[in-house]
Amino acid sequence: MKCDLHVHTSYSFDSSSLPREMVDAALKKGIDCLAITDHDEIKGANEAIEYAKGKPILIIPGIEVKTKGGDILGLNVKEKIPGGLSAKETIKKIKEAGGMTIIPHPFGLFCSFKGDLENLIDDIDGLEVLNASLFGPGNKIALDFAKRHNLPLTAGSDSHFPNFVGKCYLEIPRAPDLSIERILNQIRNKNVKICGKEANFFEKIIDHLKRNFCKFSKYARREKRKI
């Protein structure tokens, strides 16, 4: 079963893609499970869950929280987690909310985790080791780090637009009872396979330009409303 565990929607400041568009893209690409992990927001996940009802796909509600040390993913989180806290405080709040804590793109060229990752080994639940949009050797470094510390692995496209959905995903053994808890347990038990590949250099450039355009457009609209 194919699980893309890092996807954004228009509820993130750097995406313009509606939740239903991301769900439809996943369905077209044969993705069985999609984690909606918007920046500091859960509305996109809630919309995607509602839209996916009756469709052959499981939506995991999630969030990507900006901490003082860097970004942290919370999988199976149904409430907003405040940003700007320390990494340890954020991890604690995610777990109190019943979520699983993952460090995404820990060694990305422009989005690396700036905190003391070594000091968080016993606190986190896993490490993202394949992300479709990273520049540089960050994915390989993350995989080496995870293996060295015997950490559970995850993968996700980090898609902000439909074309990236499913480029990277986690594969788990197929079973009739696909559930969020089953997927998270498979990750914890390291019974997973990392699949897919990074986007090519030009795809990444275009993707990041589109993200920056979204940031600028949303900022300009906010400023206009203030006038």
Render pLDDT for 65-74 as a digit per residue (tens, 0 to 9).
999 999 999 9
Q: What token pair was written down for 25? A: 């893209």
Tens digit of each residue's pLDDT (9 = 90 or more) over 109-151: 889 999 899 999 999 999 999 999 999 999 999 999 999 999 9
Q: Which pLDDT belongs to residue 181?
A: 94
Residue 163 has pLDDT above 80, yes or no: yes
Torsion on CA atoms 188, 62, 165, 181, rounded to nearest 10: 40
The share of the chain scoring above pLDDT 70, in percent, equals 100
Q: Which pLDDT belongs to residue 225?
A: 79
Q: Which pLDDT belongs to residue 60?
A: 98
Q: Which domain holds residue 108?
A: 2-226
- pTM: predicted TM-score of the whole model, two decimal places: 0.94
- Give every CB contact of residue 151 below 8 A, 6+ residues apart in sequence: 121, 124, 126, 127, 145
Domain count of the chain? Answer: 1
Residue 18 has pLDDT above 80, yes or no: yes
The CATH number covering residue 135 comes to 3.20.20.140
Tens digit of each residue's pLDDT (9 = 90 or more) over 72-104: 999 999 999 999 999 999 999 999 999 999 999
* CA 196 and chain centroid, separation: 15
- In the block, tokens 């820990």 appear at 106
Tens digit of each residue's pLDDT (9 = 90 or more) over 177-221: 789 999 999 999 999 999 999 999 999 999 999 999 999 999 888
Q: Which pLDDT belongs to residue 222?
A: 81
Q: Which pLDDT belongs to residue 223?
A: 80
- Give every CB contact of residue 52 below 8 A, 6+ residues apart in sequence: 23, 58, 59
How far apart are the C-alpha atoms of 165 and 22, rounded to whole Å? 7
